[in-house]
Structure 1
Amino acid sequence: MFIFVALALVMGSCTEEYEHTAATAEGEQVYFKTTLASNYDLDPAKNSFQVQINRIQSEGELTVKINAVTKDGSIYTVPATVTFADGATTADINIAYDPKTLLSDKCGYGYYENITLSIGDEAYTTPYGDSSCTISAGLTEWIDTGEEVTYREGLISSVFGIEPLTYKVPLQKSALKEGRYRLKNPYGEDTEIYKMYNGSAITFNNDNGIIFDVSDPAHAYVDGTILPGKYGSDNILLYSYVTALNVLNGYDVETLKQIAPEYFGTYQDGIITMPAQSFLMELGPSQITSPTYYTNSDGMFAIAMPGYEITDYTSSFTYTGRFTDAKDNSYVQGTITLGKDVAFARWVIAAEGDDINEIVTAINDGNIESNYITSGEDIQAQLTESGNYIMIIVTYDAQGNMKNHSATPFKFSLGGESSAADWQPVYSGTFTHNVQPAFITDGEGSDNFVGNPIINDITPSYSATMYQDKKNPFNYKIEPWITQEGSLTFTMDDQGYISFKDVDTGFSHQTYGPLYVGDAALLFGVTDQHTSGYDQEAQMFVFGTIYYVYVNGEYGWLGGAYETFEINGAQGISTKNNIKIRNFVPRMFNKNSRYIYKTKMSSNIMLKATKIKGSIKRK
């Protein structure tokens, strides 16, 4: 019917202009799909590959001119036309190549060329599809082995709060390097995770891979980036810490083996495992910028090569706080968790900076004293100094063979105030916690803010007293604070600007250990703004508070909020008699804070949350 009407218009025309409009061509509407593959991995046993082109009209045979742009000396030959068969809405552009040239030194594995294809006659195009496309074609590094591995997914599951699935994935091997492999479409439509969760909050794709290298079994690692799909409209970008340090800091793999061995996994008994928190995730970009989320937080990521089954010899440590006995001895308290296949484990606490690999070897050889456990349990160990420490756990099988190890950093403080301080009450007032901080969203919209993820059970407001050190009037504290037993200690200069850092809240995160607070500007290294200070007009002390943990010796940001101490009355000495205070106008970071921390703190790893709100749901 459509062709008949269009043809009637031409026949009814009395001018050459109407005959030239080619109404039939408008009806054809030829186009390239927007979902057309952009990468073509070629087969050296063949001599051509095909790129699909589409049309809306299907009746009649149609030949369309094709223009091609290729590099000088291209190995590809693109035909000048493509023909749609009568009744067909698709046709294949057959692009030829010489397989001998493809395999030659000129090209070879990993060699790709870009080709831009376009419809040669503008009258055949349509505004409802692409009139051109650019593809990349070459001889892939990856060769199908015809075998499958067992993949225990610990990346998406770790961040989105679902149980890690274990399923089969096709295995490819590198044509360039022995011991280098690739999982083919580990999040594709044939996988269990795709079938269960695709479309709930994540849209998985069918064109992704995970490259891993076990050429050095003691330093196995995942290489490059992983793009499993989208979370809403944002790309999901996954990568290992090894890749992050390579891209962001320029370290090569061999150097990283020496300076950061804790980020590498192991390949033992056919199983590849990676340490907890050795992967990172970003939402939005398609290239690495600055890490946002830790993933594989529980160390569940694993790959069992063909013929092997995944075992769980993992271990983890959660620091839960300090214990002080009646004799004023201080102990670190925490929980050790062991994988289901661990027969026993040995653990020691090392100081920051100690060689982890040397300690693991010494534990295994029996050259240093270690603690023996046969199952996960709560532990205590006496420490005599404040500082940064590392819990090192080595796991074994029933035959006494060392299977795995973990190294978890934590910060320990003996606590207590300096005996030299002479605290005098300054003000009575009301301390208010803002449990709806403007730093974390639930993923549903930029204005849909959620509270600090671990301290929603605190009392929002309560009466408190501010104290000043009579011997050092720049030092202050507020009691009670947050747990009703702790103190918020801070300094304030003669301009009324407040600084505080590494103040223990008394709360502990279930995975990352103690929760600390600090001033936003101080933590972000911003020198031209102040986020904490005294607002003279409001008679209020304002704290631009960041909540964070220590992860792998770096800050892990969990949220932020304005918090205030509103003066109700003066007690004892007056602050104004000792310090000249000007009116303070707080400038808290707003929605652009993500950009600020990425530029100001690119060397630190910041967590926006331990798990993304709006978790994906099983179908």
Structure 2
Amino acid sequence: MKSINTLLSALFFLGAIVGITSCTEEADYTPAQKPENAQVYFATDEASTVSLETGQQSFMVSIYRISPKGALTVNITSQDESGIFTIPSSVTFAEGTTKAEIPVSFDFDKLEPEKKYPISFAIDGNSELSEYGNSELVLNVQYAPWGAWEKFGTGVYTYSLYWGGKDSYDIYRKQSLLDANQFQFKISPWGANKDTELIIDYNKSTNQAKVYRETQVATHSTYGAVYVSDIVYYIDNIEGKTGSYEKYPCTFNPETGLFSLNLIYYVGAGYFG
């Protein structure tokens, strides 16, 4: 994907209670040298829990290969003790891609709140496996209802990237009713579009924050809709590669109220910066 030749600098969001910093390191992704054969794998940093939203009917499981050459179909075995989930027996990589998605569908009405449903996936033994990841993946799927949004604080966001200026924001927080370590923070309104909400997911036990919802923040006169997410989401879902939060960390300091987020602004033609 071609980068739009626009230089963007850092964002800073500073407040007495909450602060956000966007460290805009360029999202050029240069993988290490890898073998030319296919070598299929599940990522080692794949989340072990899938938290479902109300009414959700499906989710995707990512699978990867080393070489993007040619289309490739890989057989997948799975185990679902509940019998609720429908999982295909194979997945196909398109020509030129190193990532494919396994669709998992289900009837939401059959799920019990606060119950974990384990599902295991395994790559067929006849496929070329990779040392870069795992040949098996175990997920715990659950419907995780949330508590109500509560005001967390107020802060000032200083824009120095896609647009300039300052805005004062109210920040809201809600907690998972199933996992006391899971939080969501909401800044609303946010960005040039005053109807926009920026959602930050945060796991207290790992200090991992994520902005992994593709959120439209503006409309560019030439390129159309402008979106923001963290860089790892962009690499994984837009570029179709494998990102790492170790390289592009997103964290939260509960003592100072400061988020440090590696964000990226992008349009259909590419990204800014």
TM-score range with shorter-chain normalisation? 0.3 to 0.5
TM-score by length of 2: 0.46
Q: Tell me: higher relative CO, structure 1 or 2? Use CA pairs within 8 A at least 6 residues apart.
A: 2
The structure number with the bigger radius of gyration is 1
* Structure number with higher helix proportion: 1
TM-score by length of 1: 0.22
